[in-house]
Amino acid sequence: MKHKYSSEKDAFKHYFSGTKRQVESELARLISNLSELNLHPQIEYAVMSKGKRLRPILVILSAQSIGRNRDDFMSLALAFELVHTATLIHDDIVDQDEIRRGKPTLHKKWSLKDAILAGDALIALSINLASKYGETIIKTVAKCALELCEGEHMDINPSLKTATEESYFKMIERKTASIFRDAAYCGALVGGGTTSEALSLSKYGENLGIAYQLRDDLLDLKSSIESIPKLKTRRISLPLIHLYEKSDLKRRAQLENDLFGEEQNCSPVVAKRVGRMLLESGSVAYCKRRLAEYAQKSFDSLKPLKENAYKSYLIQMMDFLDL
């Protein structure tokens, strides 16, 4: 869904970069106030690593689209970033990943115990930040953290034999989309939005999160065809589910062995073969169609909102993420 005009695009880039800088400045100030904690180095390392800061920006942008000044809800924006960071720490442990954003993962730089405790500490800090906004907000943040855990658990020990499109979307709704949904919803609430406005932004965030995950699926597979960093993670994605359903028994057995077997046989030759099958079967094209579907749903969810610059920025967010 493209809505690009040069002046609007430039205005959004300026807004996004400025808001990101403010979020990172506030994060740095927050972390500096935790210097007495033994876990301070680990928390600082995790929180101040490079990232898009999409979730806190979504909180801020949603609230501003309703009409509230951003200083009133920066703590809430930080709360969502800390929950997100905690899940990344724990996901890296579960997935046994060694690199995150070009740096050693926290459990590789320090230890498994340090990483688990740092993630736990970030969740506690997040709840503390959200508590100033009242019961509804704190319950929503806590529920979001629970859904993220549930989504990650659904993604453990994946199997092409049992994976379905329905189970995949249930998983990404929890693992990825829930935090986008609740960031937008809580932003609307603290921005003083009506129930209708909050629900519209909630739907926007959820559909944006699903589209964002589908985009990641496509990017992972594109890079995998060349250097196979992602096929080795045994991650189920929509293109792989579609390919498996379109394959005969022989090809299914080969896919299971290549991508999810006891011995990971995903050599460059295998990766290119799988990539070719994904293209020839129409699985990549199918995923692109579903991505476009959810991007359109996200756009349509904004229609009830009043026209203003920040609503325009919410639309520009989809272009920024190349949805």
Q: Examine the pLDDT at 105 and tell me if it is beyond 90.
A: yes
Q: Examine the pLDDT at 7 and tell me if it is beyond 90.
A: no
Q: Model confidence at 72, in pLDDT bands (50, 70, 90)?
A: confident
**Per-residue confidence (pLDDT) for residue 111, from 0 to 100:** 97
**Per-residue confidence (pLDDT) for residue 243, from 0 to 100:** 94
- Nearest 5°: the CA angle 27, 81, 288 is 135
- Residue 16's nearest CA partner among 309, 300, 323 is 309
**Per-residue confidence (pLDDT) for residue 179, from 0 to 100:** 98
* pLDDT tens digits, 156-194: 877 888 999 999 999 999 999 999 999 999 999 999 999
Q: Examine the pLDDT at 45 and tell me if it is beyond 80.
A: yes
Q: Examine the pLDDT at 297 and tell me if it is beyond 70.
A: yes
Q: Which residue has the higher pLDDT, 267 or 230?
A: 267
Q: Which of 1-10, 71-80, 224-233, 299-308 has the lowest mean pLDDT?
A: 224-233
Give CA–CA dist 140/189, Å, rounded: 11
Please state, rounded to an integer, the average pLDDT across all residues of the chain.
Answer: 90
Q: Model confidence at 266, in pLDDT bands (50, 70, 90)?
A: low
Instruction: Taking the CA atoms of 191, 3, 213 and 14 in sequence, report the sign of the dihedral they define.
Output: negative
Q: Which of 214-223, 241-250, 306-315 has the lowest mean pLDDT?
A: 214-223
Q: Examine the pLDDT at 219 and tell me if it is beyond 90.
A: no
CB-count exposure of residue 113 (10 Å: 0-12, 13-18, 19+): exposed
Contact 173, 62 (CB under 8 A): no
**Per-residue confidence (pLDDT) for residue 271, from 0 to 100:** 75
Read off the DSSP letter of residue 262.
Answer: S
Q: Model confidence at 262, in pLDDT bands (50, 70, 90)?
A: low
**Per-residue confidence (pLDDT) for residue 229, from 0 to 100:** 42
**Per-residue confidence (pLDDT) for residue 228, from 0 to 100:** 45
Residues 6+ apart with CB under 8 A from 290: 214, 238
Residues 6+ apart with CB under 8 A from 209: 172, 173, 176, 177, 178, 179, 180, 181
Contact 211, 318 (CB under 8 A): yes
* CATH code 1.10.600.10 for 6-320: yes
Q: Model confidence at 265, in pLDDT bands (50, 70, 90)?
A: low
Q: Examine the pLDDT at 239 and tell me if it is beyond 80.
A: yes
Q: Model confidence at 234, in pLDDT bands (50, 70, 90)?
A: low
